Amino acid sequence: MDNYRFRILLFRFIPKGFISRIFGYMVLVPLPQAIMKRIISWYSVKYGVNLAEAEIPESGFRNLNSFFTRKLKKNTRKIDGNKKSVIAPTDSRVDQFGDIKNDSILQAKGIDYSLHELIPSREAEKFVDGKFITLYLSPGDYHRIHSPVSGEITGFFNIPGKLYTVQEFMVKGLKGLFSVNERLITYIQTPKGTVAVCKIGAMNVGKISLSYNNCVTNGFFRRRNEYFYSAGQRPVINKGDEVGTFNLGSTVILLFQKNMIKFDKLKEGHKVKVGEKIGILS
């Protein structure tokens, strides 16, 4: 058995959800500032965190979670001003992008997964033959998620699932990884069509939270919940506004309806920053 297959097999048996919840509680424990500073300094060097960009409280970060979910200083990220542009919602790495071929989305070379398994809802029909982009957040990246477009939030879908790591060996080795893992999806309606912002959970992501609702993932009482706002009650969101937070790091998948977007000349493995143009609405 090769190393990849062994590691995947190991992850099938370890209690991923329990470990992630324990980790989630641990990072909420307040620590003395002397200890916090040492941990943050080590972590920043190891994972390339640019602390000069961070909005640091006067009294310092109270616990590890407040550091992981840090905000950026005002005007640190410039939001592309073109009204038709679609922006990167996260500081992240472009892993895959392109066409949704009927129901099929590319996960990695030679591996795809089902749109209808990613979004087990009638909403999935909107994205058949549309476009997608998969963005990976590393442990050192800024972990807040922003809207790629301006529009109205029509609803969200909280889908409990597994919490496999989203490291490269798992993405390349476990078919359907993103449609198996826990996820929290935001639907945004624009004049050009609907965008789905799919926030994918992973091991040690204590929870995914929304900025416009108190829904969070990875609780003890987990149930599937798809909620739609009534007309007139939909939150209005501008491009670049915050929509949610990873409490460590994971993956965001953006879905676009057919003929809705034309991607820029992106490259797999290329890093993007919040606000950077990744495409144009058709």
- So which residues are the catalytic ones? 91, 146, 250
How far apart are the C-alpha atoms of 161 and 181, rounded to whole Å? 5
How far apart are the C-alpha atoms of 167 and 268, rounded to whole Å? 15
Output the six-digit token pair for 199.
């926030």
- DSSP assignment of the chain equals --HHHHHHHHHHHS-HHHHHHHHHHHTTS---HHHHHHHHHHHHHHHT--GGGB---TT--SSHHHHHTPPBPTTSSPPP--TTEEE-SSSEEEEEEEE-BTTEEEEETTEEEEHHHHS-SGGGGGGTT-EEEEEE--TTS--EEE-SS-EEEEEEEEE--B----SHHHHHHSTTHHHHB-EEEEEEEETTEEEEEEEEP-TT---EEESSS--BSS-SS---EEEEPPTT-PPEE-TT-EEEEESS--EEEEEE-TTSEEE-S--TT-EE-TT-EEEEE-
Burial class of residue 228, CB neighbours in 10 A (0-12, 13-18, 19+): middle
- The residues with which 97 forms a beta bridge, in sequence order, are 133
With left for phi above 0 and alpha for psi between -120 and 50, is residue 48 left, alpha or beta? Answer: left
